[in-house]
Amino acid sequence: MDRIPVNLLTGFLGSGKTTLLNHWVHLPAMAGVAVLVNEFGEVGIDHHLVDTVDEQMVLLDSGCLCCAMQGDLIGALKNLALRASRREIAPVTRVIIETTGLADPVPVLYTLMEDSFVAARFVCDGVATVVSATHGLAQLREFSEATRQVVAADLLFVTKCDRATSAMQSALQEALHQLNPGAPQRQVRDGQDDASALLSCGLYSPTNKLPSLAQWLGEEALQHAAAQQAGGSASGWFPGSESNAAPENDEDAPGRPLAQRWREGRDTRSAQAHRRPEAHTAGVSSFVVVFDRPVPWLGFAVTLGHILSEHGRQLLRVKGLINVAGTLRPQIIQCVQGVAYPSVTLPAWPKEGPFRDGCSRLVFIARNLDPAHIEAIRAALAQLPTDAIALRMSSGDSMLPTRCWLSQRMPVSAPGAIEHEAWFIQPKRLRGRS
């Protein structure tokens, strides 16, 4: 990808993110990285200052470019891109944005994807959230902003571990694990940690080869939680298990019409689903949807877009691998609270783990989502519209969260279509005059 990856560094007030940033900007690994901050004064760069590019931009001896946003993120990114294109500054290889302590990272993610100028030049490469080991647990209980920062994270830095007891660290670790089971947790002492962890926490890094796709999806944690609930067996999360099938004898069940629709959709392009979400603390639950056949890309994008529009604030994260009809390589899907990241194409399907069968899977982590809404989500994904219908559905929806997926080049699933290395040929049937 030729777009510049962007990492968000967020964390609640007093979490220690500025202390971490002060340590990182001195490291040689930050060469070519631009750091956007609200105020230079909070970042201790005076004695490392090499050159003042202008009143909003300074160059550090590590090769890191530090820029002041002054409240205008779009303006700062545009200025950065224009200065680099005119070769007034060295090429920028990555951008790190430090948010304020009370910031919700989701609007920042939305900004990166919705502004056409910014989206053409930058791509979000993950969110790193800093949590204090001493006060983090109380902040999660009292402030919704702290919870949203944790849920949006691809990587969690637990700071001040040298000041917290083992019991405090254990309780916080469990709370973070429940809210975001797929995010690795790094223990930070004395405000210092390796910058490489931050620079490779996302999907768009050229050095990141996704060493553990199951960990990224949070499957290992979800399986463990399911095993505890089921008394030691977690096989129900994947195909081939009885818990993956809709009950055959459900005439008297309250939700029979929905279950019947679910089974009928399975015969065409269905989504098999784990029937019982695993409950976590603080109203958080998780469930997995499995598709047993390739899915039409546009139909999937529009359907999931409508799901995000309706339940975006309650769907904390949606992650998965999708087997798109007409392609051989899987698409990585990631959504955070109503914002859809651009999808990423993997070179091939994993040879190990549950994804070796080539089936599509979506992992949903939700908060305070009613069981009826979960069943409605399953039903919608069980009967995806064709690409032609999906295009008509999306034509009048300018606020569709997955609109960035619709512009990606994917084969249109149409009977009789012919694929070529350079062309996609679709027959046009003319209706004769009567």
User: What pLDDT, on a 0 to 100 scale, did the predictor assign at position 337?
Assistant: 78
Which pLDDT band, with edges at 50, 70 and 90, does 214 fall under?
low
Q: Which residue has the higher pLDDT, 59 or 141?
A: 141
Q: Write the pLDDT tens digit of every residue in 85-96.
A: 998 888 898 999
Same fold, 4-208 and 216-418: no
Residue 432's pLDDT is 52
pTM comes to: 0.66
pLDDT score, position 319: 84
DSSP 295: B
- Mean pLDDT, the chain, whole residue set: 75
User: What pLDDT score does 101 carry?
Assistant: 86
Query: Given this model, what pLDDT does residue 183 score?
Result: 85
How many whole angstroms separate alpha carbon 107 and alpha carbon 183?
Answer: 20
Q: Which residue has the tokens 């750091």?
A: 35
Topology (CATH) of 4-208: Rossmann fold (3.40.50)
Are the CB atoms for 32 and 93 separated by under 8 Å? Answer: yes
Task: Give the HSE-up count for residue 358: Cα atoms under 13 Å, Cβ half-sphere.
Answer: 10
Angle between helices 297-311 and 387-395 (to 10 degrees): 40
pLDDT value at position 44?
A: 66
Rounded Cα–Cα distance for residues 300 and 322 (Å): 9
Q: How far is CA 345 from CA 7, 90, 321, 362, in A?
A: 20, 30, 9, 16
pLDDT score, position 49: 54
pLDDT of 135: 92
Let me know if domain 216-418 sits in CATH 3.30.1220.10. Answer: yes
Asked if residue 375 has pLDDT above 90, the reply is yes
pLDDT tens by residue, 327-371: 888 888 888 878 888 787 888 887 777 777 888 888 888 888 889
In this predicted model, what pLDDT tens digit does every residue of 127-161 receive, in sequence order?
Answer: 999 999 999 999 998 888 898 899 888 899 999 99
Is residue 142 within 8 A of residue 23, CB to CB? The reply is no
Q: What is the domain partition of the chain in residue ranges?
A: 4-208, 216-418
What confidence score (pLDDT) does residue 172 get?
94
Where are the strands (E) in 150-270, listed by range?
155-159, 185-187
User: Residue 76: what pLDDT?
Assistant: 87
The fraction of the chain above a pLDDT of 70, given in percent, is 70
Asked whether the predicted pLDDT for residue 380 surpasses 50, the reply is: yes
